[in-house]
């Protein structure tokens, strides 16, 4: 409760403006109990494919003002397709916040990552040579801001938004 109060206080949002509250972690969900330990409402995990109709209803009825992903698009089979889905569910005027790892911009280090990627991906799963900024543009998102966080820019915080025409963004 203290953390929720702190977030509300620091955000400048009034409690009356809060429409919903989600508590989750990777592959986890919450089932809320009353004072007697009885389930208030049964729940499905949002990563469960059975929630597809509910997710579609949220998108079609409400949309998403902000979509957040962390260390996601180095691991999915088709990052551009995943980013296109992010663009699709983000409301006009909404924003996309990404914390992602990617190929190093240094030509020598980039080639080294290309060479090491098959072994690294086989051992750990993520791809260390994804061209994430390029993929974001290909998916029809326009990049507003990029912050280099670690390892000479291999980890970045990216703020983007859907471009006006929904197609690929001209990188120039």
User: What CA–CA distance (Å, rounded) separates 170 from 93?
Assistant: 19
Q: In this predicted model, what pLDDT tens digit does every residue of 82-122 receive, in sequence order?
A: 899 888 888 888 888 888 888 888 888 888 888 887 887 78
For 98, phi then psi, to 5°, come to -130, 135
110 close to 168: Cβ distance less than 8 angstroms: no
> Taken in order 111, 117, 119, 124, is the CA torsion positive or negative?
positive
Strand 90-101 versus strand 64-70 pairing type: parallel
Helix, strand, coil percentages (3-state) for the chain, rounded to 5, are 40, 25, 40
Report the distance separating Cα 100 and Cα 154, nearest Å. 8
pTM given for the model: 0.61
Confidence check: pLDDT of 163 > 70: yes
Query: In this predicted model, which residue has the larger pLDDT, 146 or 110?
Result: 146
């Amino acid at each position: 409760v203290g953390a929720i109060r702190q977030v509300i206080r620091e955000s400048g949002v009034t409690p009356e403006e809060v429409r919903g509250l989600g508590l989750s972690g990777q592959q986890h969900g919450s089932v809320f109990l009353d004072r007697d330990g009885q389930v208030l409402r049964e729940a499905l995990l949002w990563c469960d494919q059975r929630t597809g109709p509910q997710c579609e209803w949220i998108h079609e009825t409400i949309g998403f003002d902000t979509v957040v992903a962390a260390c996601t698009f180095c691991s999915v089979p088709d990052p551009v397709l995943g980013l296109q889905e992010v663009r699709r569910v983000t409301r006009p005027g909404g924003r996309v916040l990404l914390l992602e790892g990617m190929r190093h911009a240094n030509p020598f280090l980039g080639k080294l990552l290309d060479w090491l990627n098959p072994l690294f991906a086989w051992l750990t799963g993520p791809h260390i040579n994804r061209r994430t900024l390029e993929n974001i543009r290909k998916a029809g998102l326009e990049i507003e801001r990029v912050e280099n966080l670690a390892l000479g820019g291999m980890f970045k915080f990216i703020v983007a938004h859907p471009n006006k025409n929904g197609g690929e963004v001209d990188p120039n």
